[in-house]
Structure 1
Amino acid sequence: MSLQDELDAFKADFKAGNAPYFAPPEIHPVMERATAELIASGQADRALKAGAKAPAFTLADPDGTPVSSTELLEKGLLVISFYRGVWCPYCNMELQALEETLSEFEAAGATLVAISPQNPVNSRKSVRQNKLTFPILSDARNDVAAAFGLRFALPDYLVALYKNLKNDLPAFNGDPSWTLPMPARYVVGQDGTILYSEVNPDYTRRPEPSDMLPVLRRKVAHTSRGGQAHVADGASAVDLRN
């Protein structure tokens, strides 16, 4: 089963109220409204895409050790996954799928890191709960996400819903701003150029980890003029044939 199939199955169970996914049915239109508005805002189209330079960053892992993107790129390609937090079941399923593909990333000479705004305590929970062996980094205030064009503020009505559900983002993140990153996946070349990007304002949709493997192996399946590849789901990739 693909990652998206798993996400779709979870979403169907969640909306149907099947145990253990029960939630008040009135929350679903509110969440769907917020997603629709984020899509309509066009912010995903303005986020960094393939061909742009990736912002350099240094973020702490759950133990407080600084992790530098510059130093990681000295070793090879860098795969970056932005996710919302350990409280998000869609994110947890994505992290597990990335872990399953980790050996293939490493065989292609790439390092994988995942970035969320949550504090180190919750990052440790991400690692433990999902049995991860790659670095989870804390992006306080979503500053790195903002540099990639991914940070957005939750509308007031969604903040109210989260509060009613006891989903206290300020407590999870140690930040009162009620902001999140749009889920996104990047492959960055050693010169800092983004080789692949996938940004989706619909948090229930995530690319397959295997989607990045052709780029990591310096192959691109779909090309178009200008040296870029674009596929229907919004991903983009730089032509690496030269």
Structure 2
Amino acid sequence: MKRAVFAFAIVAALFTSCKTEKEKTTEEETVVTEEEMAMTDEKPDYAGFGMDEADLPEGLNVGDTAPNITMTTDDNKKMKLADLYAEQPVVVIFYRAYWCPACEKHLSEFAEKAKDIEAKGVKLVAITPETYDNVDKTKKGTGANFTIISDTDGEIMKAFDVDYKVTESYQAMIGDKLNASVAETNATGKAVLPVPATYIIDTNGKIVYRQFNPDYKQRASVQEILDNVPASN
């Protein structure tokens, strides 16, 4: 009888030990998962990008209809976005200005691959708040030979909901580090910038791809765009 009781006690001890170890492992796994979730949910450094959290743009989404906008070219001609996508899919890229090193690098990559994109029957259009005089600086600095539109009144950025007022501290930083004035660079004379977003619009006027990130260093790659361009009619 004593042997039976002793054996039962050993089994019970082993069971309790295994259970305790399992609970410990589960708790550790829970902690790791919560840490990973915290990292995943970490919000962008809006202040570091010159954005006021009280008025953040959200951008248009996949499935939305492209806004009915009219663009003014550098030779003062009017061009409707709808007329462009009626003939072929359109890739719309927003960039900040010639003074932005990340924009210059990004547009330089597109300049090298623009023919590959347009060879798929796609129209490539870059939109910026800077004046056309400053667009010329961008073209010279990047070699861009595709269409670049100055958003002379800021309405294009508003229509795509990518525009935001630049904080004074960020304007000061641009002045100190890049020797440029956001407001004086822009056609509107206002310190407004776009989130450097990218949209692909199909021939029905629907947005089929979106890259939207307040972090101006994160952009859609040429390959991502090539992978998401729809077939033209």
Settle same-fold status: TM greater than 0.5. yes
The letter of the residue matching 2:95 is Y
**Residue 135 of structure 1 pairs with residue 151 of structure 2:** no
Q: Give me the TM-score of the superposition, normalised by structure 2.
A: 0.72
CA distance in 2 between counterparts of 1:180 and 1:85 reads 9
CA distance in 1 between counterparts of 2:138 and 2:74 reads 10
Report if aligned partners of 1:114, 1:136 keep a CA contact under 8 Å in 2: yes
**Residue 99 of structure 1 pairs with residue 87 of structure 2:** no
**Residue 216 of structure 1 pairs with residue 229 of structure 2:** yes
**CA offsets 1:72-97 (integer angstroms, 9 cap, x no match):** 11220000000001111111111111
Q: By how many angstroms is 1:134 displaced?
A: 0.6
Q: By how many angstroms is 1:164 displaced?
A: 4.0
**Residue 48 of structure 1 pairs with residue 48 of structure 2:** no
Which residue is 2:74 aligned to? 62
Tell me the secondary structure at the aligned position of residue 137 of structure 1.
strand
**Residue 146 of structure 1 pairs with residue 158 of structure 2:** yes
Which residue is 1:157 aligned to? 169
Of 163-172 and 92-101, more deviation after overlay is shown by 163-172
Q: By how many angstroms is 1:161 displaced?
A: 2.8
Q: By how many angstroms is 1:136 displaced?
A: 0.6
Point out the structure with the larger helix share: 2
Q: 1:172 aligns with which of 173, 178, 185?
A: 185
Which residue is 2:197 aligned to? 184
**CA offsets 1:94-117 (integer angstroms, 9 cap, x no match):** 111112222222222110010000
Call closer, same or farther: CA 1:138–1:69 in 2, change over 3 Å.
same
Call closer, same or farther: CA 1:33–1:194 in 2, change over 3 Å.
closer
CA distance in 1 between counterparts of 2:197 and 2:100 reads 14
Call closer, same or farther: CA 1:94–1:200 in 2, change over 3 Å.
same
CA distance in 2 between counterparts of 1:33 and 1:55 reads 26
Tell me the secondary structure at the aligned position of residue 49 of structure 1.
coil
The letter of the residue matching 1:205 is Q
Report if aligned partners of 1:117, 1:173 keep a CA contact under 8 Å in 2: yes
Structure whose CA Rg is larger: 2
Report if aligned partners of 1:78, 1:189 keep a CA contact under 8 Å in 2: yes
Report if aligned partners of 1:43, 1:149 keep a CA contact under 8 Å in 2: no
Which residue is 1:124 aligned to? 136
Q: 2:123 aligns with which of 111, 136, 157?
A: 111
Call closer, same or farther: CA 1:131–1:160 in 2, change over 3 Å.
closer
Q: By how many angstroms is 1:39 displaced?
A: 9.4
Report if aligned partners of 1:63, 1:120 keep a CA contact under 8 Å in 2: no
Report if aligned partners of 1:62, 1:124 keep a CA contact under 8 Å in 2: no
CA distance in 1 between counterparts of 2:171 and 2:94 reads 21
Tell me the matched-pair count. 186
Q: By how many angstroms is 1:141 displaced?
A: 3.8
Call closer, same or farther: CA 1:39–1:100 in 2, change over 3 Å.
farther
* RMSD between aligned residues: 2.3
Call closer, same or farther: CA 1:63–1:126 in 2, change over 3 Å.
farther
CA distance in 1 between counterparts of 2:225 and 2:61 reads 14
CA distance in 2 between counterparts of 1:209 and 1:142 reads 26
Of 138-147 and 60-69, more deviation after overlay is shown by 60-69
**Runs of at least 5 residues in structure 1 that lack an aligned partner in the other structure:** 1-31, 219-242
Tell me the secondary structure at the aligned position of residue 87 of structure 2.
coil
Which residue is 2:20 aligned to? none
**Residue 81 of structure 1 pairs with residue 81 of structure 2:** no
Report if aligned partners of 2:50, 2:170 keep a CA contact under 8 Å in 1: no
